[in-house]
C-alpha cells in the first residue's frame, strides 16, 4: 500500500541524507577510495536509489561544496554588494569574522578539506571549486576594494595583491585548523582572531601611529 504523502520523505530531505552519509564516508575513507555502495548503505538506500539523486561521486562532492563553502562564497558576495559602498572597512571586518566562524564549523570545513586532498589529481573537481567558490570570492573582494578606493579608505593597490592579502588569512585559518591541525594546537577564538588579523591587514606591519586597540587613551 502506498504511504500517505505526509509520511513520505521529500526529495530534498532524502538528498540531504545522502549528502550527510557521503560526507561521513568521504571523510573516513577518502574521496578516491570511497564507493557509492558504501554511501548508499550509510544512507540506508540501495546504490540505484542514490543514482536517482546523484549521477556520480563527483556530483555528490559538488553538491557538498555548494551547500557549504559555495553558500559561504555566495553570502559573502551578497554582504559585499549590500554594505561595501557604505563602509568598506567595517564590511571587511565583518566578512573575516563570518569566514573564520564558518571555517570552525565541521559541516562547512569538511568539503574543502576533501577538495584540497583531491584537486591535484582531479582537474575537473579543481576547476569546479575554482569557479563556484574561489572566483565568486575573488569577485566580491574586487568589489570591496573598489568601494574602499572610491570612499577614500583604501589606497590604490593591484587587485591580485589585494585579493591575496584579504583572502589569504581565511585560507591560512582553514589550513591550520582543519588540514594541518595538531591535537596540542592552541584553541583560538575565531572572532577575536579575525579582528586581530583585520587590524594587521588594514593597518599594515609598519609602525605609523597606534591603532585603537593599542592606544591607552
Which CATH number belongs to the domain containing residue 18 in this structure? 1.10.10.60
d(CA 54, CA 30): 18
* Whether residue 109 has pLDDT greater than 50: yes
Query: What are the pLDDT digits (tens) for 46-105?
Result: 999 999 999 999 999 999 999 999 999 999 999 999 999 999 999 999 999 999 999 999
Do 132 and 144 sit in the same domain of this protein? yes
d(CA 193, CA 186): 12
Residue 54 has phi, psi (to 5 degrees) of -135, 125
Query: What are the pLDDT digits (tens) for 155-211?
Result: 998 888 988 998 899 999 999 988 898 999 998 999 999 999 999 999 988 876 655
d(CA 68, CA 80): 19
The pLDDT of residue 211 is 54
Q: Which residue, 60, 62, 66, 58, is CA-closest to 136?
A: 66
The pLDDT of residue 3 is 45
d(CA 208, CA 31): 49
- Which residue range is the domain that position 24 belongs to? 10-55
The count of domains in the chain is 2
Q: Which residue, 73, 50, 49, 46, is CA-closest to 60?
A: 50
Query: What are the pLDDT digits (tens) for 17-45?
Result: 999 999 999 999 999 999 999 999 999 99
Which CATH number belongs to the domain containing residue 145 in this structure? 1.10.357.10
Amino acid at each position: 500500500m502506498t504511504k500517505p504523502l505526509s509520511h513520505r520523505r521529500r526529495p530534498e530531505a532524502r538528498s540531504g541524507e545522502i549528502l550527510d552519509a557521503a560526507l561521513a564516508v568521504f571523510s573516513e575513507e577518502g574521496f578516491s577510495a570511497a564507493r557509492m555502495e558504501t554511501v548508499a548503505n550509510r544512507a540506508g538506500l540501495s546504490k540505484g536509489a542514490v543514482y536517482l539523486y546523484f549521477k556520480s561521486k563527483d556530483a555528490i562532492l559538488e553538491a557538498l561544496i555548494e551547500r557549504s563553502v559555495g553558500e559561504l562564497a555566495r553570502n559573502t558576495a551578497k554582504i559585499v554588494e549590500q554594505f561595501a559602498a557604505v563602509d568598506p572597512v567595517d564590511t571587511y571586518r565583518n566578512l573575516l569574522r563570518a569566514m573564520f566562524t564558518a571555517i570552525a564549523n565541521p559541516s562547512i570545513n569538511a568539503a574543502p578539506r576533501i577538495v584540497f586532498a583531491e584537486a591535484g589529481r582531479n582537474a575537473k573537481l579543481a576547476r569546479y571549486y575554482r569557479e563556484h567558490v574561489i572566483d565568486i570570492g575573488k569577485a566580491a573582494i574586487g568589489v570591496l576594494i573598489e568601494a574602499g578606493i572610491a570612499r577614500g579608505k583604501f589606497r590604490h593597490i593591484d587587485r591580485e595583491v589585494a585579493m591575496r592579502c584579504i583572502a589569504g588569512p581565511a585560507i591560512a585559518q582553514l589550513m591550520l585548523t582543519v588540514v594541518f591541525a595538531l591535537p596540542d594546537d592552541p584553541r583560538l577564538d575565531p572572532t577575536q582572531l579575525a579582528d586581530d588579523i583585520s587590524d594587521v591587514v588594514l593597518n599594515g606591519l609598519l609602525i605609523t601611529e597606534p591603532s585603537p586597540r593599542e592606544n591607552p587613551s
